[in-house]
A and B are shown apart, each in its own frame.
Chain A
Amino acid sequence: GAGVSQSPSNKVTEKGKDVELRCDPISGHTALYWYRQSLGQGLEFLIYFQGNSAPDKSGLPSDRFSAERTGGSVSTLTIQRTQQEDSAVYLCASSLSSVQETQYFGPGTRLLVL
C-alpha cells in the first residue's frame, strides 16, 4: 500500500514568510510524528499525535511552530515568520498505534529560508 507522503518536496521561502508543510500518514495509522533534521545532524523531535489524545508538543522550538491533525489523518506543520535557522528537512512519520511501534517515514520536505 501507499507509504507516508509529504508535500511539498522542497520549499524555498523568504525570511518572515509563513509556510505550511503537509503529511499524509499511512491509512489506519493512529500515531503521527514530526521531526526536523538540520544538515548532517540527527533528528529533532517536534510533535507527536496519538489518536484523539492531546498532542505532545514538547519538541516545538518556539511559538512560531504549530501543527494540527485533522480527522485523525492528514497533518499540517505551520511555521510562522520563518527564520534562516528554520532551514532543515522536516520529516513526518506514522506508526500503527504508539511510539513502541515501528515508525514509517515520509521522504521529507526540504525547507530553505533565504
Chain B
Amino acid sequence: SQQGEEDPQALSIQEGENATMNCSYKTSINNLQWYRQNSGRGLVHLILIRSNEREKHSGRLRVTLDTSKKSSSLLITASRAADTASYFCATDHTGGFKTIFGAGTRLFVKA
C-alpha cells in the first residue's frame, strides 16, 4: 500500500478561503514533499520539509510535520481559482530507495 495517504480526497472551497490538506505515512522518513498536479500531467514540486523540521513556509503555503503522529499538513492561505489542482504528498522512508506518493487531494477553488 502507499506510504503516503492524503485526506480529504477532494476539497471544494470559495476563493479567498484557506485550504488544508493532510498526509499520513507509515514508516520513518527522511523528508516529506508536497507536489501539485494540473490536468493529470507532470507534477510540480511545492515544498520539502525534512524530518528534523516542524514547519516551513513558502509564499501562501505552510507545511507542518509531526513525526510522532507520522503526519503532515499543507495549508494554502487566501486561495485563488488558479490553485485548483491535485496535491500529493511524497515520502522517502529511512533506508528506502524510492519516493512513495499518496493518492492525492483534489482541490477545487470556486471563483
The answer to whether B45 touches A56 (Cβ under 8 A) is no
Please judge, given known A-B contacts A35-B101, A48-B98, whether A89 and B40 are in contact too, CB under 8 Å: yes
The answer to whether B92 touches A100 (Cβ under 8 A) is yes
Please judge, given known A-B contacts A43-B88, A100-B31, A103-B45, whether A37 and B40 are in contact too, CB under 8 Å: yes
Interface size of B as a range: 20 to 34
The answer to whether B40 touches A58 (Cβ under 8 A) is no
Chain B residues contacting A37 (CB-CB under 8 Å) are 40
- In the assembled complex, the CB of A108 is this many whole angstroms from the nearest CB of chain B, namely 5
The answer to whether B97 touches A50 (Cβ under 8 A) is yes
Chain B residues contacting A42 (CB-CB under 8 Å) are 2, 88, 101-104
Given A43-B101, A106-B42: 6 more A-B contacts, CB < 8 Å: A37-B40, A99-B97, A102-B45, A102-B48, A105-B43, A107-B41
